[in-house]
Amino acid sequence: MEVRLESSWKELLKDEFEKSYFKDLAEFVRQEYQSGTVYPPPKFIFNALDSLPVDQVKVIILGQDPYHGPGQAHGLSFSVPDGIKPPPSLQNIYKEIETDLGHPHHASGNLDRWVKQGVLLLNATLTVRANQAGSHQNKGWETFTDAIIHELANKKDHLVFILWGNYAQKKGSFIDPNKHLVLKSPHPSPFSAHSGFFDSRPFSQTNRYLIELGQTPIEW
* Catalytic residue annotation: 65
SS3 string of the chain? CCCCCCHHHHHHCHHHHCCHHHHHHHHHHHHHHHHCCEECCHHHCCHHHHCCCHHHCCEEEEECCCCCCCCCCCCCCCCCCCCCCCCHHHHHHHHHHHHHHCCCCCCCCCCHHHHCCCEEEEECCCCEECCCCCCCCCCCHHHHHHHHHHHHHHHCCCCEEEEEHHHHHHHCCCCCCCCCEEEEECCCCCCCHHHCCCCCCHHHHHHHHHHHCCCCCCCC
Q: On the CB side of 190, how many CA atoms lie within 13 Å of its CA?
A: 3
Residue 171 phi/psi, 5-degree rounding, is -65, -35
Query: Which residues lie closer than 8 Å to 1 by C-beta, 6 or more apart?
Result: 25, 26, 29, 30, 42, 45
